Amino acid sequence: MNTYHSGLTAQFDALLAGREQELCAVLHTREAQADTGEARSDVIDFKDIAIEDTLAVVDEVQAENAAHELEQVLAARRRLQDHRYGACLDCGEAIDLRRLAAMPATPFCTGCQAVHEQEHAALARH
Ligand SMILES: [Zn+2]
């Protein structure tokens, strides 16, 4: 298994910085939509409605997911700076490099992630 090493810091920092920008853009789009929505809430204009439909609409769920992922990205960047990046936060084992390349913000190894997902699923059922 290939694992993360300090020679990859710049590469992963660039990956995470790019993801951070994307997520910030999503959240700003959401804020802008909330602003314009309030400003003309009492004016119903069919032209405006048509334009809104064609815009990429960022809904509440998307914004929440983006905010959550942004937290993970920022935490991952802090771990990069502190030289703690690449190790699972739960078990402390090195995370597979392929997993990190696909999901640079992930704080868990594959095994611990599966446990967390099962816990979430169990909570959702109750
Ligand atoms: Zn783990």
- Name the amino acid, one letter, at 70: L
CA dihedral 101, 24, 81, 107 (to 10 degrees): -50
Q: What is the pLDDT of residues 104-114, one digit of tens each?
A: 999 999 999 99
The CA 76 to ligand 1 mean position distance, Å, reads 15
Q: Which fold has domain 6-125?
A: Four Helix Bundle (Hemerythrin (Met), subunit A) (1.20.120)
The CA 29 to ligand 1 mean position distance, Å, reads 35
Q: What is the pLDDT of residues 16-65, one digit of tens each?
A: 999 999 999 999 998 888 777 555 555 556 666 555 554 567 788 999 99
- Name the amino acid, one letter, at 104: P
Give the predicted TM-score (pTM) of the model: 0.77
Domain definitions of the chain by residue range: 6-125
The mean pLDDT value for 64-70 works out to: 95
The mean pLDDT value for 69-90 works out to: 96
The CA 72 to ligand 1 mean position distance, Å, reads 16
pLDDT of residue 37: 58
The CA 123 to ligand 1 mean position distance, Å, reads 21
Query: Would you say 95 and 8 are in contact if contact means Cβ atoms under 8 Å apart?
Result: no
